[in-house]
Structure 1
């Protein structure tokens, strides 16, 4: 099995499973510290310290501050090392201007929250979200400190989502939340309540029993956490069992495939190629090139035309002009090639390289050129498939591919329950199953035999002396030459040049009107190969330049707790 050509597909699968969020500015936020000093009046003075590490040019940072209903954020300022920084605001998004490149900066943001305290005369509560699920950036480490107006021992505190079970209450009533790392788009609301006696009586603004409400909310969180942990343990047990069973299933498939491949290789080795020169001509030149290389290089078109010269279907009247001699014994792809070159580009019975250059220089012809090329390649591929070089394992591959869907529920459930090692294993197994389904295409004995013979022929060709090569038939010389040309194989082409340079061409009396020798073929290829390569490059580049491309734009941070960014 050849996996290298499927690497782009696997990369696409990885990006689908782990979508990459691109930023115009390359940065990380290593530290985010919040100090909230609650005043007796109920106002909260907040000091935020943001540590940004930039690996690119930047113009500043952003901070979205989304107030709760009924509250307001005022007097927002920013500074660095005690020096004020310019800022602007639009829809609660503050842009703080501080340009630089490849450096670490520490920006301090201060502001006041109005009407953030709710009190019933017994307790006074601060319930806030300093960031929310609209936050676009990861935080390396987050800490929040809530300081009451004066020391008190009557304190209740807890947090939601990322803040759950992260609180600690100090002896003076200060509440600290140590979040640690907080991924983007993560919530972490916090609640803290102190004895109302440390606040002004004028902020009493509710008749609700805050103590009972907080106790009920905390108990509910603890029950949810207990249920979550129980569910997490159950999912882990079931998930790991499924991973193990599915992993063994994939291992069985792979081992079975390897054994089958070795068996076929062994049978193929029993059919040693004992002839001289190169292997016998079982399939056409372009079909062979496709089979051995997995694709058709641009040079394969010119080589296929010269192969028709070799076979006598086409003759060259001048160095750049070709004529159709006859259309007998043509394969489908050869008929398509002749119609494309002689009828579509040329004048019917003749085709010149000047006509090719003129045709591809006209922008309006590029679509038709690529369409005709695609038709020819499809016919070449059909011919290759017709030789049954690969075993038909469609049902087996479909079964393997669709079996990977077993991983989808686990890929959804594992991250929801913070089972990241298990998630990684599930993703890797799914990718392995998809890769296996795509790439598993075992060769038949015939396919292995052809491939092994040509690999061996190429290896032995490099050790062939001029005297040995001269004993080859003229047809074998031309076939190896055209194989190297059409495959764009630099090693074979270099060897060809060395042999031809030391070879005495056939005398004029030895050639007939419809034969061509290796020397003549080499001269033709020197002009034909670059012409078709340039034609394909021209058609491809011009066509791709017509396609429009759109870049992804970065949006601002929305409400729901706010977030951080850079520009």
Structure 2
């Protein structure tokens, strides 16, 4: 399998292994949830829930998870839609309600009983329950929970925790309604209501007092809220000057980087109007890698072969036949290419193009050929790294990296203070600063190389024979080799036109039989042969609701 395809397959499998539910999830939202809990005098709570789902594609039903508190149990669970009963399958605390459809908005009514949910004390009867907790994977756009006593309660006390804090209001009958608004996935939101004790005459009384405990909780939450508010004010004061200052610094940083890169590029442009072939600074394959594309095509391999001919490491005997002269080239990637063509494909001294075709048609040789080409490409990359063509700016990187980490810490600080807009902006700033650590602009030397070879490519489109004839044989050979590798089309029409026009004068002294279509086609076929062969429900964790209870919603 081709390495790119292998990567795609492996990455896809990894996504499905790590996120199986998310990868197969139904596209939906829960726009409204109402929960009515009718508390009875015997301590059983009859619950009616209405869940409104908006589906954006095909679906098979909804999921409700109800995890009872310790000492309680769920019974008589049913589901219906507009009075029509729906099929329910239970898997421990998960209830799968079957209702298939496509692109619909539906409201499902759920009914169940909670047994053992009311505890009585000397000063009141308590219903303390988590209808959802941090196991919930879905947002509730609008949630309302109503707790109703068995009869009018005169001294009702109540509170809500986390997402339910300060959302409750006392009703005329002593019931409590929690208007919670939007509830985010992964949130907790326990509700706690204490009714008059005499409304539950048959329930056994537990030791202790409950009203004092609730009052202590309310006081503690009020103190925590006041402390949080004070910290938020301090955090806002810091963020109001820190974030704009960081934004201004980022703008200045990017403006400097753009201006510096543009100025360096302009200074590197050749100052001569005359046509010339750039001096040899890197090998032709490395020059192509740096100036044209980091993807080394079969055309670059063909250019690398002609580069070895130019350097007289290889002698071309005919269009299809080459003889090895020197096994000690200048670069490692050249030695790798020689080993591939003359040792693996040829007989150690002679390489013929038809042998490469035969070699790559045999599937047993595909891995060996691919490995050699990969090593050859890595060698070219290593050569380019030797020339310091990209600036490093270690001091600048250190400053912006430290700034990025600082804003990463600041984003955590703002998040803990629930200053979420500032948290998001701080994360963006942190990413920008840390991303700038990887800023490696092309150096003046690098721009000179790019601009010179760009000038060559442009000039050769309308080159006059007189200008061509003034070049040395070595310059002509380098120009043709570069043009051969730079031509992205396998037909190499541009290179072929120059070859036809200037082949006699260009290669007479080299004794070459230069055919760009044949050379590139040879390696394209080899690449095609080898690449064609190569391409031949989640666990529920412990939740955060009171006494281990809680739950959530979903769809399938």
Post-superposition shift, 1:372?
3.1
Shift of residue 407, structure 1, vs aligned partner: 2.2
Q: 1:504/1:460 Cα in 2 relative to 1: closer, same or farther (>3 Å)?
A: closer
Map 1:113-262; keep pairs closer than 5 Å.
Answer: 113-120=114-121, 122-197=123-198, 199-262=199-262
Structure 1 residues 27 and 319: alpha-carbon distance in aligned structure 2, compared to 1, 3 A threshold: farther
Structure 1 residues 465, 294: CA separation in 2 closer, same or farther (over 3 Å shift)?
closer
In structure 2, relative to structure 1, the CA distance for the partners of 1:530 and 1:327 (3 Å cut) is same
| Contact 2:313–2:326 (CA under 8 A) maintained in structure 1 | yes
Q: State the alpha-carbon separation in 1 of the partners of residues 257 and 441 from structure 2.
A: 8
TM-aligned CA distance change 1:373 to 1:120, over 3 Å: same
**Shift in CA distance, 153/460, structure 1 to aligned 2, threshold 3 Å:** farther
Question: What is the alpha-carbon distance in structure 1 between the residues aligned to residue 239 and residue 21 of structure 2?
Answer: 28
Residue 82 (structure 2) aligns with: 81
Q: Answer yes or no: is 1:564 the counterpart of 2:520.
A: no
Aligned twin of 2:511? 515
SS at match of 2:437: helix
Partner of 2:94: 93
Tell me the alpha carbon deviations over residues 259-284 of structure 1, each in whole angstroms, 9 at most, x when there is no partner.
43344334324x41443254344321
1:4 counterpart residue number: none
Deviation at 1:68, TM superposition (A): 0.9
Distance in 1 of aligned mates of 2:332 and 2:345: 19
How far apart, in 1, do the equivalents of 2:506 and 2:72 lie?
101
Please give the alpha-carbon distance, in whole angstroms, between the structure 2 residues aligned to 1:540 and 1:555: 37
Q: CA deviation at 1:61?
A: 1.9
Alignment correspondent of 1:34: 35
Q: Which residue of 1 aligns with 2:425?
A: 425
> 5+ unaligned residues in a row in structure 2: which ranges?
1-14, 544-548
* 2:297 equivalent in structure 1: 298
**How many residues are aligned here?**
531
Q: What's the CA shift for 1:133?
A: 0.9
Q: How does 1:513-552 map to 2 (within 5 A)?
A: 514-516=510-512, 520-535=514-529, 537-538=531-532, 541=535
Q: Secondary structure at the match of 1:564?
A: strand
The equivalent of 2:448 in structure 1 is 449
1:358, 1:529 → 2: CA distance? 12
Q: Tell me: CA distance 1:359–1:423, structure 2 relative to 1, closer, same or farther (3 Å).
A: farther
1:330-389 CA distance string (max 9 Å, x none): 433222321233223432123344544555556665555444334323332232233332
Residue 70 of structure 1 is matched in structure 2 by 71
* CA–CA distance in structure 2, aligned partners of residues 488 and 402 of structure 1: 44
The Cα offsets for residues 299-327 of structure 1, whole Å up to 9 and x where unpaired, read as 22233123334544334455554332445
- State the Cα deviation string for residues 4-35 of structure 1 (Å, max 9, x = none): xxxxxxxxxxx9xxx99824123222222211
1:26-62 deviation per Cα after TM superposition (whole angstroms, max 9, x unaligned): 3222222211122233221111112222233332222
C-alpha deviation, 1:164, in angstroms: 0.9
C-alpha separation in 2, matches of 1:145 and 1:290: 69
* 1:70/1:115 contact within 8 Å kept: yes
Q: Distance in 1 between matches of 2:506 and 2:68?
A: 95
CA distance in 2, matches of 1:104, 1:468: 77
Task: Summarize the Cα distance change of 1:77–1:166 in structure 2 as closer, same or farther, 3 Å threshold.
Answer: same
Distance 2:403 2:345 in 1: 49
Q: Aligned partners of 2:374 and 2:87: how far apart in 1? A: 59
Q: CA deviation at 1:527?
A: 2.4
Mapped partners of 1:97, 1:485: distance in 2: 64
Deviation larger for 201-210 or 467-476: 467-476
Judged with a 3 Å threshold, the aligned counterparts in structure 2 of structure 1 residues 278 and 510 are, in CA distance, closer, same or farther, namely closer
| In 1, Cα distance between equivalents of 2:260 and 2:412 | 35
Q: Distance in 2 between matches of 1:303 and 1:468?
A: 25
1:335 maps to which residue? 335
Does the aligned pair in 1 maintain the 2:490–2:520 contact within 8 Å? Answer: no
Structure 2 CA distance for aligned equivalents of residues 472 and 108 of structure 1: 89
- Conserved 8 A contact 1:306-1:521: no
CA distance change for structure 1 residues 420 and 443 in 2, over 3 Å: closer, same or farther? same
Q: Are the counterparts in 2 of residues 297 and 488 from structure 1 also a CA contact under 8 Å?
A: no
TM-score by structure 2 length?
0.84
Q: Secondary structure at the match of 2:152?
A: coil
The answer (yes or no) to whether the contact 1:64–1:557 under 8 Å persists in 2 is no
Following the alignment from structure 1 to structure 2, what is the Cα–Cα distance between the partners of residues 416 and 522? 65
1:34–1:468 Cα change, 3 Å: farther
Aligned residues: CA RMSD: 3.4
Task: Please say if residues 135 and 184 of structure 1, whose CA atoms lie closer than 8 Å, have aligned partners that are also in contact.
Answer: yes
Contact in 2 for aligned 1:162/1:179 (Cα 8 Å): yes
Partner of 1:282: 281
Structure 1 partner of 2:313? 313
- Which residue of structure 2 lines up, in the alignment, with residue 9 of structure 1? none
Shift of 1:159: 0.7
Equivalent position SS for 1:136:
coil
Q: Secondary structure at the match of 2:107?
A: strand
Alignment gaps of 5+ in structure 1: 1-14, 543-552
C-alpha distance in 1 between matches for 2:245 and 2:394: 23
Q: Give the drift of 1:236.
A: 3.2
Contact 1:119 1:203 in 2 (8 A): yes
Quick check: 2:360–2:526 contact (8 Å CA) kept in 1?
A: no
CA contact (8 A) 2:333 2:379 kept: yes
Distance 1:57 1:346 in 2: 60
Determine the C-alpha separation between the residues in 1 that align with 2:539 and 2:493: 55
Equivalent residues of 1:24, 1:554 under 8 A apart: no
